[in-house]
């Protein structure tokens, strides 16, 4: 992060605003709304600022900026139309370690003012690091339309019960689960709609019931999709924000892990070829153990849990131990890679079926149903086939597939790192080696690969 986000308490704090024009007026309104004791230093004021001074809402120093004006200030804003004056304010403040914002000049600012969605006491701040304030305002506008005004009432309601909930539910994990159930259910809707009396009665009942309940753990097998965070399902994102523990592997993109609740425990259980952080059996039992401790366990998997993700094996173990579980499907990597590479998996003119297979080697050979895979008018997508690409392509040809059949490898599909190499069964392994294609990557074989040149829209292919 270029800037550390923070909310600063300004009630009763002495703040200085340098400048008396229209820009200064906007900043004055903002500072006063936060409860600041505001002094404005400027030779002249706009009529509205002058009226605020007459009414005692702020103090006017009828003078140009002087460093002595900084004494005792908690925060300073420079809003003049003279950059040299603004620079002087910035240098003086930073010498005294006083936070200073120079309006529309991030270079001179030690902090920046974000776009704000105010549902006090709920406040949301949006920043682009001072680089594109218009974008921050656009995002704020979207949030304004999505977040009901009643969320402020909900925040106050929850704050009023905070101490009682903490006393009644000492366990941190149980308390978090309690609040999530309250804030996402009908009780919250009652508060938002203004029926706080009914909500208070419901909250009292919930607190009485919570004291007698024991923590119930569960496991959520969540498909993280092919890598692009925008391709997550709403359900997946919600569970990522609620989980107490996250078990993830090497196919989960780092950008996706940033969406997990920040205080959740993260356990890497990655599995790469011949390099397992934890054997599959140990992963299964670890999920059972964590759930039996009352924790909500998120098993985050690249792609879809039931498409070469061993999800079936995992939930068999959970079911055998009586652990509650839920499976959240994700966009499988084959769909993501094909779509982003411009390769339709089926096409009336080229492929009437599609087959997903795994390219793992077993006992020195690739044990696949080659007669079925080499039939015409179909697309074959090979998962985990990077290390065996040479053998795979040779086997396709050996079992009757023409060596000129189009074939492609798509690496880090749907992400900014996506690369696609396309050729034929004869030359694809050489191309993959030349361009250092590595896992995670998929191999796609079939006539539809020939459409990538025309239909590719996301990334220019490597070759």
- Helix H or strand E encompassing 219: strand 218-223
Q: Please list, in sequence order, all residues whose beta carbon lies within 8 angstroms of the beta carbon of residue 88, skipping any fewer than 6 positions away.
A: 65, 67
Structure letter (DSSP) for residue 147: S
Choose among 276, 325, 318, 316: nearest CA to 296: 325
- Cα(49)–Cα(24) distance, integer angstroms: 9
Catalytic residue among 244, 249, 301, 401: 249
224 appears as a binding residue in the annotation: no
Strands 218-223 and 296-301: parallel
| Residue 271 designated active-site | yes
First to last CA, the chain: 35
452 appears as a binding residue in the annotation: no
- Cα(451)–Cα(412) distance, integer angstroms: 20
303 appears as a binding residue in the annotation: yes
Neighbours of 66 (CB within 10 A): 12
Catalytic residue among 118, 271, 361, 427: 271
22 appears as a binding residue in the annotation: yes
Q: Say how far residue 89 (Cα) sits from the centre of its chain.
A: 37
198 appears as a binding residue in the annotation: no
Strand arrangement of the beta sheet that strand 406-411 belongs to:
353-358, 378-383, 441-445, 406-411, 419-424
Contact 243, 298 (CB under 8 A): yes
- Cα(237)–Cα(232) distance, integer angstroms: 7
The C-alpha angle with vertex 236 and arms to 242 and 318, in degrees rounded to 5, equals 75
302 appears as a binding residue in the annotation: yes
172-183 and 196-212 helices, crossing angle to 10°? 150
For residue 412, what are the CA distances in angstroms to 83, 175, 210, 426, 458? 46, 39, 45, 23, 12
43 appears as a binding residue in the annotation: yes
194 appears as a binding residue in the annotation: no
- Cα(361)–Cα(392) distance, integer angstroms: 10
311 appears as a binding residue in the annotation: no
158 appears as a binding residue in the annotation: no
Q: Which residues are annotated as a binding site?
A: 22-23, 43-44, 226, 302-304, 384, 413
Residues contributing to the annotated binding site for NAD(+): 22-23, 43-44
Give the residue numbers annotated as catalytic, written as ranges: 249, 271
Binding-site residues from annotation for S-adenosyl-L-methionine? 226, 302-304, 384, 413
């Amino acid at each position: 992060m270029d800037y550390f986000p923070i909310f600063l308490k300004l009630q009763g704090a002495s703040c200085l605003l340098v400048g008396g024009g229209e820009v200064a007026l906007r900043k004055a309104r903002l500072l006063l709304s936060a409860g600041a004791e505001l002094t404005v230093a400027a030779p002249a004021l706009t009529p509205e600022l002058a009226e605020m001074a007459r009414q005692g809402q702020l103090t006017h120093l009828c003078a140009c900026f002087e460093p002595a004006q900084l004494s005792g200030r908690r925060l300073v804003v420079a809003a003049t139309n003279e950059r040299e004056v603004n620079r002087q304010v910035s240098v003086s403040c930073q010498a005294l370690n006083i936070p200073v914002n120079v309006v529309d000049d991030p270079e001179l600012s030690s902090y920046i003012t974000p776009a704000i969605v105010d549902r006090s006491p709920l406040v949301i701040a949006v920043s682009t690091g001072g680089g594109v304030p218009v974008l921050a305002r656009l995002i704020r506008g979207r949030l304004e339309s999505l977040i009901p005004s009643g969320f402020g009432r909900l925040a106050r309601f929850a704050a009023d019960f905070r101490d009682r909930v903490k006393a009644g539910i000492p366990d941190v994990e149980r308390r978090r689960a309690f609040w999530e159930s309250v804030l996402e259910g009908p009780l919250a809707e009652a508060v938002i709609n203004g029926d706080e009396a009914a909500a208070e009665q419901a909250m009292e009942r919930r607190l009485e019931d919570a004291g007698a309940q024991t923590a119930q753990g569960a496991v959520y097998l969540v498909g993280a999709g092919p890598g692009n965070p925008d391709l997550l399902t709403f359900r997946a994102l919600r569970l990522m924000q609620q989980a107490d523990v996250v078990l993830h592997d090497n196919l989960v993109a780092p950008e996706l892990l940033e969406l997990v609740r920040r205080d959740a425990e993260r356990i890497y259980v990655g599995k790469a070829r011949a390099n397992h952080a934890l054997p599959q059996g140990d992963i299964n039992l670890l999920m059972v153990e964590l759930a039996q401790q009352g924790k909500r366990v998120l098993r985050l998997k690249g792609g879809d849990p039931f498409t070469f993700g061993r999800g079936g094996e995992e939930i068999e173990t959970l079911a055998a131990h009586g652990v509650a579980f839920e499976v959240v499907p994700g966009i499988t990597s084959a769909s993501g890679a094909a779509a982003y590479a411009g390769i339709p998996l089926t096409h009336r003119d080229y492929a009437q079926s599609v087959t997903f297979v795994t390219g793992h080697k077993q006992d020195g050979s690739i044990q696949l149903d080659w007669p079925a895979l080499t039939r015409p008018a179909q697309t074959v997508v090979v998962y985990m086939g990077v290390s065996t690409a040479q053998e795979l392509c040779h086997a396709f040809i050996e079992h009757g597939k023409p060596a000129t059949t189009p074939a492609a490898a798509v690496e880090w599909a749907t992400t900014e790192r996506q690369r696609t190499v396309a050729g034929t069964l004869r030359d694809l392994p050489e191309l993959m080696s030349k361009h250092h294609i590595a896992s995670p990557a998929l191999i796609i074989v079939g006539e539809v690969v020939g459409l990538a040149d025309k239909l590719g829209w996301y990334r220019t292919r490597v070759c």
